[in-house]
Amino acid sequence: MNSSSEIQNQKLSSQLDLDLDFEFDQPSGKLRLRDLLDISPTLTEASGAIIDDSFTRCFKSNPPETWNWNVYLFPLWCLGVVIRYFFLFPARVLILTIGWMIFLSSYIPVHFLLKGHDKLRKKFERYLVELICSFFVASWTGVVKYHGPRPSRRPKQVFVANHTSMIDFIILEQMTAFAVIMQKHPGWVGLLQSTILESVGCIWFNRTEVKDREILTKKLRDHVQGAENNPLLIFPEGTCVNNNYTVMFKKGGAFELDCTVCPIAIKYNKIFVDAFWNSRKQSFTKHLLRLMTSWAVVCDVWYLEPQNIKPGETAIEFAERVRDIISVRAGLKKVPWDGLLKYSRPSPKHRELKQQSFSESMLRRLEEK
């Protein structure tokens, strides 16, 4: 039983440590009409996918359970709404405005006046970015607990974290000024990206441009080599996931740069608000407003032990190993899907594998007497 597709399956199965059930559980014996007409395994798989699939689950918002369904709880909840929208929210907006004023009044002078003294200017800018991020976090009453040793500035290291929302970046940035690699967004976010984040050394990419990849890899490599640059932060999932699951990490980028990878695990506590940014359902502004009108955003951040690629390990295996470390730490379930399937269809290669297996089985059994 050694057709090439079976060998491929076995390799795949052993690597993934699971049993892939393919269409025909290797039935043998002469091919009869009944076998040819029996498409039930394929149909079962298709219906299984229609009824429930793990990919869609990753992007489902799971809001915390409502508790205001009672005669005395409901007025309490109403009171809470009043406090949140009419007291907390304006106070937070005020804090944020003050923060921005302080930031802009310090940043602009520093940026222009210290043009010549690069090192000093960068130091100030770094501090100011950390400051404005702290203001942001305060504006949604972020209760963030950091565990583990704080990131240090060294060359040849890259930080990776799981991704739930754009606020991941802000939460991490308030502790250490990272340079991040991000998708360029439209609107006011894009404006912020091109002005302020440029100064910490952020790198932009366009998801839809495939040729971008090589230029990107080169940029990343250059950044990592420079000792003066801010530590690089990458979100290898490539998209926002709902903080109950992790999708597959992209091997390109973080794991192929020949440097140490330091994993960071972020877990949000849904007790007051669900921090997952469902980019299909709401804009970032709405998402921020939702955070600012809730009681608090509670999360834990773990800085985990730096990892190096082991000899004989491929980049993909390395990426999966790091994903395992992060998922275990943050209590997330792993799912074997590529996050970018949110925007595109799966490659035809998997379907072709099934077709190949079917064809080989048919032809083989036809020969049997």
- Chain positions 217 to 256 lying near another protein, rule: CB under 8 A, are 245, 248-249, 251
Site string for another protein, 249-288 (x = CB under 8 A): x-x----------------------------x--------
Residues in the chain: 369
104 near another protein, judged by CB under 8 A: no
Alpha helices in the chain (DSSP H): 4-16, 33-37, 40-51, 54-57, 73-83, 89-113, 118-139, 167-173, 187-192, 198-199, 212-225, 284-292, 315-330, 349-367
Q: Taking the CA atoms of the chain, what radius of gyration do you get in angstroms?
A: 25
- Separation of alpha carbons 217 and 205, rounded Å: 11
Least separation in angstroms between residue 37's CB and another protein is 6
Member of 90, 149, 226, 336 binding another protein (CB under 8 A): 336
Least separation in angstroms between residue 198's CB and another protein is 32
Least separation in angstroms between residue 304's CB and another protein is 18
User: Of 262, 361, 368, 264, nearest to 42 (Cα)?
Assistant: 361
Q: How many residues bind another protein (CB under 8 A)?
A: 77
The window from 130-138, 161-169, 262-270, 351-359 that contacts another protein (CB under 8 A) reads: 351-359
- Residues from 164 through 183 that contact another protein (CB under 8 A): none
- Separation of alpha carbons 192 and 132, rounded Å: 12
User: Of 327, 283, 282, 275, nearest to 162 (Cα)?
Assistant: 327
Q: Which is nearer to another protein, 36 or 192 (CB)?
A: 36
Q: Which is nearer to another protein, 123 or 364 (CB)?
A: 364
- Residues from 6 through 25 that contact another protein (CB under 8 A): 8, 12, 15-21, 23, 25
Q: 113, 191 in Cβ contact below 8 A?
A: no
User: Of 211, 217, 173, nearest to 192 (Cα)?
Assistant: 173
77 near another protein, judged by CB under 8 A: no
32 near another protein, judged by CB under 8 A: yes
325 near another protein, judged by CB under 8 A: no
